């Protein structure tokens, strides 16, 4: 009796002897930006601990995480035969601990964040590693700030949530003298990379590529938004400017109820408001016919297999979400179109954007890792959940995330981010100062907020009427 073959969808452990292949996403970075040191290519995770933190125990927890997840110990040796990854035996560097207690009390936290930001932007050497740094700053007896800095080539946003959750679970268990109980990891990232190489070929590759070829018909894989500020930006070096507005809990409940009534999610509703706002502005730059093809840039988790649910690594992929509509489309119908665009992209997310562009032979391959000035003016859109209340925090400690003041390099042009928080939704609009002015950006964000309110309040309103109503026209 013959042994049945394993499903090609099943990710299984691969031998660690010999050359270990990199993922297609890692390959793009290594081919086009191995030596480019952009802040955007790093992920610093800042956590403020309030309470009696045991720093020695915290270091032990971080070491356990490092041994548990090979992605925290990966590096990429220079190999004339091709791109490979290597797994370092340990974390290489100890936890760095400093104090700012000699600083004036009202300036200590800012000083701590500045020190962590300075450490976070230090270059990584991809060929030798380590690509995972840890630093703790003691602000006072009851306040510490931890920063875990990782190179994006090894980590994605869902992995960050896993690391935070497991860090807290480890600390709680070890502080209580219990053996930690973490989810079983059937595979590690090198196993995923090897599986991806074997899976994405032949008929599977052609089927997935067929969908994306259709999506990119007439547009680039990194699509231009078509948005122009007639007044232009300001002279001088490009800066990343952030504006934000807040949607309170009552409005958030209404938006969630509206999404539920359509059988969709928050990201589809906010995405429809974003695309409607972009449509209105594209009327002035590309004309009526082209305005209704709105393509945004965003991210997909690409965790379609149960083996990857607790896996730390760079599995996510950027993607282009293209929706076609016109001014007569109702807001509720637009939400449906945006939702289907997202759903279809998720069904085809196993092929990373990097491989799509390589298969297409597109000149944008590697553009995200090169000179930011050469990037097309795309609009990036994502809805994220950074709420710490979803984590079981260590007893006796209160932990919150903090953003470090690192000088992010402006790429593309525009970014809309929705942050779901316990008390509502924060809408953030980021723009390049050399391409867009403050007045234009403020008006865009305000218009987006109004469209979201009008559209969810009156779903049968047609897209063009959202702006007619706002302007007081019949």
Please check whether residues 211 and 186 belong to one and the same domain. Answer: no
Does residue 218 lie within any of the structural domains? yes
Write down the pLDDT at residue 386.
62
Per-residue pLDDT of 158-192, as tens digits, reads 999 999 999 999 999 999 999 999 999 999 999 99
Does residue 396 lie within any of the structural domains? no
Provide the number of structural domains found in the chain.
2
Per-residue pLDDT of 381-429, as tens digits, reads 998 876 666 788 898 999 999 999 988 777 788 999 999 888 899 999 9
Please check whether residues 341 and 295 belong to one and the same domain. Answer: yes
Write down the pLDDT at residue 473.
39
From residue 111, give the alpha-carbon distance in Å to each of 50, 100, 404.
17, 7, 11
Please check whether residues 176 and 54 belong to one and the same domain. Answer: yes
Please check whether residues 134 and 250 belong to one and the same domain. Answer: no
CA-based R_g, the chain, Å = 23
Spatial contact of 320 and 216, defined as CB atoms under 8 Å apart? yes
Write down the pLDDT at residue 474.
35
- Which residue bears the tokens 């282009």? 320
Does residue 15 lie within any of the structural domains? no
Of 132, 167, 191, the residue at which a domain comes to its end is 191
Q: Is the peptide bond before 130 cis (omega within 30 degrees of 0)?
A: yes
Q: If you average pLDDT over residues 274-295, what whole number do you get?
A: 93
Please check whether residues 53 and 187 belong to one and the same domain. Answer: yes
Per-residue pLDDT of 349-374, as tens digits, reads 999 999 999 999 999 999 988 877 77
- Say what percent of the chain tops pLDDT 90: 82
From residue 460, give the alpha-carbon distance in Å to each of 330, 333, 446.
5, 8, 21
Write down the pLDDT at residue 439.
97
Please check whether residues 124 and 272 belong to one and the same domain. Answer: no
Mean pLDDT computed over every residue of the chain: 92
Sign of CA dihedral 338, 342, 347, 353: positive
Does residue 397 lie within any of the structural domains? no
Please check whether residues 230 and 148 belong to one and the same domain. Answer: no
Spatial neighbors of 229 by CB under 8 A, at least 6 apart, are 435, 436, 437, 440, 441
Please check whether residues 178 and 263 belong to one and the same domain. Answer: no
Spatial contact of 341 and 321, defined as CB atoms under 8 Å apart? yes
Q: What are φ and ψ of residue 11, in 5° steps?
A: -90, 125
Q: If you average pLDDT over residues 222-239, what whole number do you get?
A: 92
What residues pair up with 399 in beta bridges, in sequence order?
Answer: 49
Please report, for the domain that includes residue 33, its CATH number: 3.30.559.10
Per-residue pLDDT of 5-57, as tens digits, reads 456 789 999 998 889 999 999 999 999 999 988 888 999 999 999 999 999 99
Crossing angle of helices 266-282 and 463-470, rounded to 10°: 70
Strands 414-421 and 42-50: unpaired
Write down the pLDDT at residue 85.
95
How far is Cα 445 from Cα 430, in angstroms, rounded to an integer? 10
Does residue 394 lie within any of the structural domains? no
Does residue 5 lie within any of the structural domains? no
CA-CA-CA-CA dihedral for 468, 470, 471, 474, to nearest 10: 40
Domain extent, residue 229, equals: 207-389+406-470
Please check whether residues 384 and 437 belong to one and the same domain. Answer: yes
Please report, for the domain that includes residue 305, its CATH number: 3.30.559.30
Per-residue pLDDT of 322-349, as tens digits, reads 999 999 999 999 999 999 999 999 999 9
Task: Say yes or no to pLDDT of 471 above 60.
Answer: no
Spatial neighbors of 74 by CB under 8 A, at least 6 apart, are 85, 86, 87, 88, 129, 131, 154, 189, 190
Please check whether residues 161 and 261 belong to one and the same domain. Answer: no
Spatial contact of 76 and 127, defined as CB atoms under 8 Å apart? yes
Strands of 20-21's sheet in order across: 20-21, 84-87, 74-75
Spatial contact of 379 and 412, defined as CB atoms under 8 Å apart? yes
Of 161, 191, 221, the residue at which a domain comes to its end is 191
Does residue 452 lie within any of the structural domains? yes
Of 166, 191, 216, the residue at which a domain comes to its end is 191
Write a three-state SS string for the chain. Answer: CCCCCCCCCCCCCCCCCCCEECCHHHHHHHHHHCCCCCHHHEEEEEEEEECCCCHHHHHHHHHHHHHHCHHHHEECCCCCCCCEEEECCCCCCCCEEEECCCCCHHHHHHHHHHHHHHHHCCCCCCCCCCCEEEEEEEEECCEEEEEEEEEHHHCCHHHHHHHHHHHHHHHHHHHCCCCCCCCCCCCCHHHHHHHHHHHCCHHHHHHHHHHHHHHCCCCCCCCCCCCCCCCCCCCCCCCEEEEEEEEEHHHHHHHHHHHHHCCCCHHHHHHHHHHHHHHHHHCCCCCHHHHCEEEEEEEECCCCCHHHCCCCCCCCEEEEEEEECCCCCEHHHHHHHHHHHHHHHHHCCCCCHHHHHHHHCCCCCCHHHCCHHHCCCCEEEEEEECCHHHCCCCCCCEEEEECCCCCCCCCCCEEEEEEEECCEEEEEEEEECCCCCHHHHHHHHHHHHHHHHHHHHCCCCEHHHHHHHHCCCC
Spatial neighbors of 87 by CB under 8 A, at least 6 apart, are 16, 20, 70, 73, 74, 190
Please check whether residues 183 and 251 belong to one and the same domain. Answer: no
Per-residue pLDDT of 438-458, as tens digits, reads 999 999 999 999 999 999 999
Please check whether residues 179 and 240 belong to one and the same domain. Answer: no
Does residue 88 lie within any of the structural domains? yes
Query: pTM here?
Result: 0.92
């Amino acid at each position: 009796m013959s042994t049945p073959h394993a499903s090609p969808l099943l990710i299984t452990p691969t031998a660690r002897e010999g050359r270990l292949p990199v993922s297609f996403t890692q390959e793009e970075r290594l081919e086009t930006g191995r030596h480019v040191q952009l802040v955007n290519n790093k992920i610093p995770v800042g956590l403020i601990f309030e309470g009696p933190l045991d720093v020695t125990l915290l270091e032990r927890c971080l070491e356990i995480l490092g041994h548990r997840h090979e992605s925290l110990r990966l590096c990429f040796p220079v190999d004339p035969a091709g791109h490979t990854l290597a797994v370092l035996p340990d974390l290489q560097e100890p936890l760095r601990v400093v104090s700012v207690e000699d600083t004036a009390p009202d300036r200590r936290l800012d000083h701590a964040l500045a020190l962590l930001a300075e450490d976070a932007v230090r270059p990584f050497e991809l060929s030798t590693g380590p690509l995972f740094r840890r630093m703790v700053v003691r602000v006072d007896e009851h306040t510490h700030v931890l920063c875990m800095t990782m190179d994006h080539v090894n980590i994605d946003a869902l992995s960050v949530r896993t690391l935070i959750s497991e860090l807290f679970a480890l600390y709680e268990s070890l502080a209580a003298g219990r053996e930690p109980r973490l989810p079983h990891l059937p595979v590690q990232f090198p196993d995923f990379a090897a599986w991806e190489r074997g899976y994405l070929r032949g008929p599977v590759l052609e089927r997935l590529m067929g969908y994306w070829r259709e999506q990119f018909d007439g547009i680039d894989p990194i699509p231009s938004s078509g948005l122009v500020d007639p007044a232009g930006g300001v002279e001088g070096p490009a800066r990343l400017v952030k504006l934000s507005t807040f949607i309170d809990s009552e409005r958030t409940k209404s938006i969630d109820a509206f999404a539920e009534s359509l059988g969709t999610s928050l990201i589809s509703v906010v995405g429809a408001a974003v695309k409607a706002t972009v449509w209105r502005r594209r009327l002035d730059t590309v004309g009526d016919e082209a305005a209704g093809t709105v393509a945004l840039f965003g991210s997909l988790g690409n965790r379609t297999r149960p083996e990857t649910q607790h896996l730390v690594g760079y599995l996510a992929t950027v993607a282009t979400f293209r929706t076609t509509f016109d001014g007569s489309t109702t807001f509720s119908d637009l939400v449906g179109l945006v939702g289907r665009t997202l759903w279809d992209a998720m069904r085809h997310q196993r092929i990373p954007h990097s491989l799509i562009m390589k298969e297409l032979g597109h000149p944008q391959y590697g553009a995200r890792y090169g000179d930011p000035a050469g990037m097309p003016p795309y609009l990036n859109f994502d809805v994220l959940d950074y709420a710490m209340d979803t984590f079981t925090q260590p007893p006796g400690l209160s932990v919150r995330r903090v953003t470090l003041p690192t000088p992010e390099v402006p790429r593309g042009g525009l970014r809309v981010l929705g942050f779901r928080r316990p008390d509502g939704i924060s809408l953030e609009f980021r723009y390049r100062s050399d391409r867009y002015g403050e007045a234009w950006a403020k008006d865009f964000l305000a218009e987006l907020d109004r469209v979201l309110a009008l559209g969810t309040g009156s779903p049968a309103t047609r897209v063009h009427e959202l702006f007619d109503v706002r302007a007081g026209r019949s």
